[in-house]
Amino acid sequence: MLAAAQPAVGDVVADRYRIVRLIGVGGMGSVYEARDAVTGQRVALKILHPTLQRHPVIPQRFLREAAAARSLMTPHAVKVEATGNLANGVPYIVMEFLDGEDLGKFIARKGGRLPVDQALYIVDQIAAAIHEAHARGILHRDLKPENIFVIPTARGEVVKVVDFGISKIFTEEGVRLTQTGVTVGTPQYMPVEQLRGTKGLDGRVDVYALGVILFEMLAGARPFDGFTYEEVILKVASTTAPPIATYCPNLPAGLGAAVDKAIARDRDLRFLSMADLRQALAPYWNGMCPVCPPAAQTPYVPPPAHLSSSQSGSGAPPPNPPQQAAAQHLAPASNLESSGAWGTPAPQRASHESAASSSAAPPAHPTRAPNRGGPKTLTLVIVVAVAAIAALLVVVFGVGLWLWFASP
């Protein structure tokens, strides 16, 4: 059993996870690559920072929030496989190993900005993960490109959100923003109410952060930036974000309005939920889900009243039922595994998830049904009827002639 607070290569945690290498060190702790002796699989092992381990509450909250994140079913959240404590009481989390790169590096490698369809494809996957987290009472509060992993697959990039619910520990337990190595969120992605420490934060803090991420992917810049932490906070707290049309004048007006709404300074003007944000973005992209089998089907599930898009004032035209099913992935939880897709912009989003289901609504682009009637069919019926009548008359006339000649 490991006794040191910071393990070394070759050490074994919980008699199961052998440390392979140190991946990185952050304000919250250290992340290691390890090998699971039971399954043989690579895993990521996160160990809480020693300074936080001495806090009377944070270690327990760290494990509790990790356990909550473990309940998420979406394929777009990193899987938490186990939690525990080292021999000296330091808590750790075992997660799936992600073989890819964070979104910040992905954007930089693509030249600083992404095409509309690819940006919306990525955002939809993030929103799917956060939507389920919100449904389970988990706020992320620290959405940023560094907390989003992009994994290449044969069917497109699969997105995974990491650090679910962990940032909530810090503000609720009173850890100071200025504590060495600890940052409660990143100001470029934090709304003004979060920076001010407003009580009663809700899912709209994550809506704002995702809106900033989308802004950054499309415009190649963030709405607020600066040389120092304090400068960014001052801008967020005292100014209004510039419209994205300032950077991207050729964006469809409705898409630009959706981005601006997501990052509205007044949270009451933002989208009420991730479901509403996905619904507003759905008309501007189209494609296939990278983590669903081609025949995957998700029946349309009407949203609960408290998540209804009509309450959000999104201003977007009401989508058809398949768009809502693709945009919301509401309960049951299994439906949440069928999330976004990638393709080219289209007037409406074609949902493969409900295309073949008898219980689902008609597809966004329905195929033509076999012709069961119409003028051609009616003409054929009339011709056949006339021919039958003519044949009958010929038979009757022939029988009459035969009887006439045969009579004495």
- Helix 253-262 vs helix 274-281: crossing angle, to nearest 10: 160
- Catalytic member of 142, 163, 260, 276: 142
Q: Which two tokens stand for residue 302?
A: 């009407």
The answer to whether the CB of 218 falls within 8 A of the CB of 250 is: no
The residues pairing with 18 across neighbouring beta strands, listed in sequence order, are: 12, 35
* Alpha carbons within 13 A on the beta-carbon side of 243: 13
Q: Residues near 243 by Cβ (< 8 Å), separated by ≥ 6?
A: 256, 260
The answer to whether the CB of 123 falls within 8 A of the CB of 80 is: no
Annotated catalytic residue 15: no
Residue closest to 298 by CA, chosen among 343, 349, 357, 341? 357
Number of neighbouring beta carbons within 10 Å of residue 238: 9
Q: Which two tokens stand for residue 317?
A: 């035209």
> Prior bond to 299 cis, omega within 30?
no
Burial of residue 35 (CB within 10 Å: 0-12, 13-18, 19+) is middle
The answer to whether the CB of 133 falls within 8 A of the CB of 72 is: yes
Residues annotated catalytic, as ranges: 142
